[in-house]
Amino acid sequence: MQDLGIRVLIEGNNLYRLMGGLLVTVKIALISVIISIIFGIPFGIVMTSKNKLLRLVCRAYLEAVRIIPVMVWLFIFYFGVPKLTGIHLAGDVVSVIVFSIWGTAEKGDLVRGAVTSLPKHQKESGKAIGLTNVQIYRYIIIPQSVRRLLPATINLVTRMIKTTSLVVLIGVVEVLKVGQQVIESFVLQSPSASFWVYGFIFFLYFIICYPISLFVRKLELRWKE
Amino acid sequence: MDIDFILEISSLYLEAGKFTLKLAFIGIILSLLIGIFCSLVNYYKVKFLKKIVNWYIELSRNTPLLIQLFFLYYGLPKVGIKLGAFTCAVIGLAFLGGSYMAEAFRGGLEAVSKAQIEAGLSLGLTKAQVTRYIIFPQALAVSIPSIGANAIFIIKETSIVSAISLKDLMFVTKDIIGIYYKTNEALLMLVVAYLIILLPLSLLLTYVERRLRYAGFGN
Amino acid sequence: MALLEVIGLNKYFDGFHVLKDISFSVEKGEVVVILGPSGSGKSTLLRCINGLEEIQSGQIKLNGEVINEDSTKWHLIRQKIGMVFQSYDLFPHMTVYENILLGPLKAQKRDKKEVARQAEELLDRVGLLDRKNFYPRQLSGGQRQRVAIVRALCMNPEIMLFDEVTASLDPEMVREVLDVMLELAKEGMTMIIVTHEMEFAKAVADRIIFIDGGEITEVAEAQEFFTQPKTERAKNFLNIFNFKEYKKGVDNNEKI
């Protein structure tokens, strides 16, 4: 039988299936990013608080999350937590939990960086022209922080999407798993399927992440001035 | 928690830890070499090569390592390129880490003032000598914190090579969970192993960062 | 034969004609000071002479040999032309000693013992031998600039170029640097100096080249230039440095 070659991608509903798998990945990434932003902002502001103990606790959380590879966290939540608590969670739920924990730490650190990097006299000159504290945040601190934060936050999305590729290793059926299934079912018609399918997935990730990275760079360049 | 069991499996973790370190070490060294090369190509705006380097950096930064590994290990043999799992992992890590290291060196090179090049040239040094004796050492000193952070990043990234059946810490853990169902013990050892590797490095990095921030040459 | 000869040098920068048909020569042992308003192209001219700037036409000759035509040989030529910059540009990651030894050892591949002896001698002469193992950031501006001069001298150059070497120094440190240069002049070093220190120029120069708007408008013996400048532009330029007429209660309007 003749090798289908690259046509394996469009054979049957293969393309549709692969895209469906990709959607699972992207969904996990986006839900995790949203949760990370929701929790990350207050977390970051708390990290700038004057309370030493509070700061220490936050710091410990951040460092603990960072020093252990995400893959290990996935294992802990996928294999360890059910064993300890008896609650069995599906792979995708575990993924969202782990990525949210990780993302909250990262987003929090970004927020902390943005707030503390604002020069002190910004707040003081706000006071000097008679603004209230709320007005200072509304008109001075928040707009400037957002400018500093937005590029890095969008960057977090691409990092999240790339990291989401790991969920296949805890049994989530996403694009890589669908790819494996396609390769297996077409092993006879298309012996070279794994080259094309994995190459295609590689390409898919690139065309999702590259425009986002490009956009971030444009944004950074424009806001530099 | 089964202490005897932990002791029993600790030798497995020692082996796997050594493997993880070996893989990471080779990956870091190659990443450094690729990073230095790419950043110098960009710094001196070498025609043609610059284009290739920039495409490489984009590809590397916008695709996950896991997908790179699958493509290298399962995809390439179908077109006649057969590489061992270890080779694939090394290539993948270097491919990924190279662009991160290039970014680290870019920052360092930009921190060296152009006047330093002219001062070197006016002493009759060749361009290569100026790079080697004047630009490179200064750029390296500035880049050390980012290089350290990237090294830690690369070590952490090795945690997925079990996907192409390499026997690293994750592989051993999964094995033990599968065979003995001693999940807690296996995971504990996994975390401990990574902490033993990463914690000292991370502390060292914090220390170096703090020192570099307040000092320059001659302190 | 002149040691250095510049013939019909033209330099364009972004479409601007920054150096226009520059020709002059410097004899062995001569000290030439280039004066002119800022932005007139003095520094650019110095930088052209040791190949840091490309020129579009003209010739630069050292000992009768054209040096600007083969760009691959500049590193050899530059070993004979010492240059000192306004911003010192010492290498911050090297000690004073290492800064000085780098060129002679790596570019000229000379014997380390011999170079080390020369370096110490030179450092001693500028009064910095005890700073040998210091890093640049541990030195004052004046000290750094003296080290930069020694660094260039240790290459045994045939000619030295000084590009506004006191311009970024605090006033109290200017003297220590100028003294080193006066000393060099006395010993017969061939030098081209760009400076804004008029009194120093008067003291050190054999000849003055006055540049304005990218062209040489006047060349004269130092004495003559300062007492009887020929061109209107040179007169105006010299007046800028003259405060004597500006006294309280004196009407200066006619001067303007």
pLDDT tens digits, one per residue of A86-126? 888 888 899 999 999 999 999 999 988 888 877 778 878 88
> Is the backbone of residue B137 left (phi > 0), alpha (psi -120 to 50) or beta?
alpha
Range of the domain at C86: 4-242
Residues C60, C6 contacting (CB under 8 angstroms): yes
- How many Cβ atoms from other residues are within 10 Å of residue B219's Cβ? 9
CATH number of the domain encompassing residue C141: 3.40.50.300
Question: Would an 8 Å CB–CB cutoff place A36 in contact with chain B?
Answer: no
Indicate yes or no: CB of A83 within 8 angstroms of CB of B170.
no
Residue-by-residue DSSP string for A113-171: HHHHHS-HHHHHHHHHTT--HHHHIIIIIHHHHHHHHHHHHHHHHHHHHHHHGGGGGGT
pLDDT tens digits, one per residue of A49-93? 888 999 999 999 999 999 999 999 999 999 888 888 888 888 889
ipTM: 0.89
Q: Answer whether residue C254 is part of any domain.
A: no
Indicate yes or no: CB of B125 within 8 angstroms of CB of C75.
yes
Q: Answer whether residue C190 is part of any domain.
A: yes
pLDDT at B152 over 70: yes
Q: Answer whether residue C97 is part of any domain.
A: yes
Give the pLDDT band of residue B80 (cuts 50, 70, 90): confident
Indicate yes or no: CB of A165 within 8 angstroms of CB of B66.
yes
Q: Answer whether residue C93 is part of any domain.
A: yes
Q: Structure tokens of B38?
A: 């790419």
pLDDT for C231 equals: 87
CATH superfamily of B25-164+200-214: MetI-like (1.10.3720.10)
Q: How many helices (H) and strands (E) does chain C have?
A: 9, 10
pLDDT for B165 equals: 85
Long-range contacts of B11-14 (CB under 8 A, 24+ apart): B12/B172, B12/B176, B13/B169, B13/B172, B13/B189, B13/B190, B13/B193
Give the pLDDT band of residue B123 (cuts 50, 70, 90): very high
pLDDT at B73 over 70: yes
Residue-by-residue DSSP string for C220-256: EEHHHHHHS--SHHHHHHHHHT--TT--TT---GGG-
Give the pLDDT band of residue C245 (cuts 50, 70, 90): low
pLDDT tens digits, one per residue of C32-56? 999 998 888 899 999 999 889 989 9
Nearest residue in A to B169, CA atom? A72
Which residue(s) pair with C17 in the sheet?
C12
- Which residues does chain C have within 8 Å of residue B217's beta carbon, measured at their own beta carbons? 92-94, 135-137
Indicate yes or no: CB of B67 within 8 angstroms of CB of A165.
yes
Does chain C touch chain A (at least 3 C-beta pairs within 8 Å)?
A: no
The whole model's pTM is what?
0.84
Q: Where are the domains of chain B?
A: 25-164+200-214
Percent residues over pLDDT 70 in chain B: 97
Choose the closest CB to B187 out of A63, A79, A163. Answer: A79
pLDDT for A102 equals: 95
- Which residues does chain B have within 8 Å of residue A166's beta carbon, measured at their own beta carbons? 64, 66, 160
Indicate yes or no: CB of B63 within 8 angstroms of CB of A205.
yes
The number of folded domains in chain C is 1
Q: Answer whether residue C95 is part of any domain.
A: yes
Q: What are the structural domains of chain A? A: 5-222 (1.10.3720.10)
Residues B200, B25 contacting (CB under 8 angstroms): no
- How close A157 gets to chain B, by Cα (Å)? 11
The Cα–Cα gap between B122 and C47 comes to 10
Question: Would an 8 Å CB–CB cutoff place B111 in contact with chain C?
Answer: no
